[in-house]
Amino acid sequence: MSPKRARTRGLPQTGEAEPKTLDALNAMIAASKPLVPGATRAVLGEGPLGAAIAFVGEQPGDKEDRQGRPFVGPAGQLLERAMSEAGIDRHRVYVTNAVKHFKFEQRGKRRIHQKPTPGEVEHYRWWLDQELKLVHPKLVVALGATAVLALAGKPFSIARFRGRIDFRGHAGFITVHPSYLLRMPDKSAKEQGYRDFVRDLQSIRRLAAVSALHPATARKRGRSAAAGRAPRSASRSAHSR
Ligand code: URA
């Protein structure tokens, strides 16, 4: 996306150059004001530069907002448990969010999470693009619908497109958000949902271990990046499938 795009409330302004380092990008994000007032701070992505896998969530929750770290609340704990069962070390992957500020409704003492609107997701998208450019993961994982919208630029059904996908030039993977599993009321459905999630994470670990994961490279070598299945492209119309 063009850095010339006019933005408000501390996001990149007309003519602002793309940051050259993740520290520079993070300084820009940290200095910005929330689009919807209330959040304590911007919650930055976390993990090593050049991590093989980048996980993208929706937005920080209450705990993340208080601690200033992504995925440290209940959804983060579930994600970390599932990662560990799938053989993924959280400290060796990059974890971030599509939206950098917590949006909530105050109910008494509780701050209840509010889903970001498509306009809010779009508002933060330039940053996510810059972040992924700088971290340069082999595989970008969308956790849930908001992350898919941010990465693909349009909505995709998780049920239909779950699995390997291309996000505008990034090798990607769509899976559910851990909060979705936490909210499932039925115990056995929840257990099955968790097992499916761990299975997705195992596929993600294997895919990220494939050295030539970029679709163009994989095509050149005459093989699909995913075992026996051609990746779908999120840059083509989702509605044509
Ligand atoms: N949910 C998210 O999408 N991100 C977080 O950081 C925490 C919960």
* Domains assigned to the chain: 22-236 (3.40.470.10)
Q: What is the distance between the alpha carbons of residues 103 and 115, in angstroms, rounded to a whole number?
A: 7
Distance 62 CA to ligand 1 centre (A): 9
What pLDDT does residue 169 have? 87
Length of the chain: 241
Q: Which of 113, 120, 179 to mutate to test the pocket of ligand 1 (most atoms within 8 A of CB)?
A: 179
Mutate to test the pocket of ligand 1, among 56, 64, 111 (most ligand atoms within 8 A of CB): 64
**What pLDDT digit, counting tens, does each position of 19-50 carry?**
999 999 999 999 999 988 999 999 999 999 99
CB contact at 8 A, 67 and 41: no
Report the mean per-residue pLDDT for the chain. Answer: 86
pLDDT at 9 over 90: no
Ligand 1 binding pocket, CB closer than 6 Å: 57-61, 64, 70-71, 73, 75-76, 97, 179
Which atom of ligand 1 is nearest the CA belonging to 58? Answer: 3
pLDDT band at 16 (very low <50, low <70, confident <90, very high): low
- Read off the pTM: 0.85
Q: 223 C-alpha vs ligand 1 centroid, how far in Å?
A: 34
